[in-house]
Amino acid sequence: MRRFDVSRITCASCGHHQAVAAFASRCFQCLGSAFRVEIERSASGLDWEEAALSLASAFAVTTPIDFLDTDDPAGIYYRTHSFVNLAQVDGDDLCRFLKAPLPERRRMFVDWKREESESLLFHGEQVCRRCRVIFKPYANAWNDSGLCSRACRRAQEKSLRRS
């Protein structure tokens, strides 16, 4: 079982939230066509597709982005639930995504993440593997471990101790 649902759409130019159900490819406020999008991704059960995709995306090992939640090695066996943020999605693409069946959504989602990771790498930036904020890495213990801040590292350590 797998789902990709758009949980939030925000105009990339004016910052207005858009109603997901009424979304029509342009910002209702400024008619902008680029959006920040939050996608809610959930899966449950033993997910062979996930496992296959993890292997298929081995090309991406040098990127700090684990959009497949591979930091959780048992993730493919259990229910996973996460929010993924995309910084720049074209309104027409987003409209197609909202109407698309699951396999198409999945394909578009992977393409978007790939484009995003390529452009991030180009700028030398990283995505925090805990909170997914984009940051410019410096030589310190938390940035070295792929986390945006000292606070995020502390939260990460806490959650590791709990599990």
Site string for Zn ion, 104-143 (x = CB under 5 A): ------------------------x-xx-x----------
CB of 95 to Zn ion, least distance (A): 16
CB of 122 to Zn ion, least distance (A): 21
Binding residues for Zn ion, rule CB under 5 A, total 12
Q: CB nearer to Zn ion: give 28 or 77.
A: 28
CB of 102 to Zn ion, least distance (A): 29
Tell me which residues in 27-46 interact with Zn ion (CB under 5 A). 27, 29-30, 32
DSSP string, the chain: -EEEEEEEEEETTT--EE-TTT--SS-TTT---EEEEEEEEEE-S--HHHHHHHHHGGGGGGSS--TT-TTSTTGGGS-EEEEEEEEEEEHHHHHHHHHS-HHHHHHHHHHHHHHHHHHHHHTT-EE-TTT--EE---SSHHHHTT-SSHHHHHHHHHHHHH-
Neighbours of 112 (CB within 10 A): 22
Site string for Zn ion, 50-89 (x = CB under 5 A): ----------------------------------------
Binding site for Zn ion (CB under 5 A): 11, 14, 27, 29-30, 32, 128, 130-131, 133, 148, 152
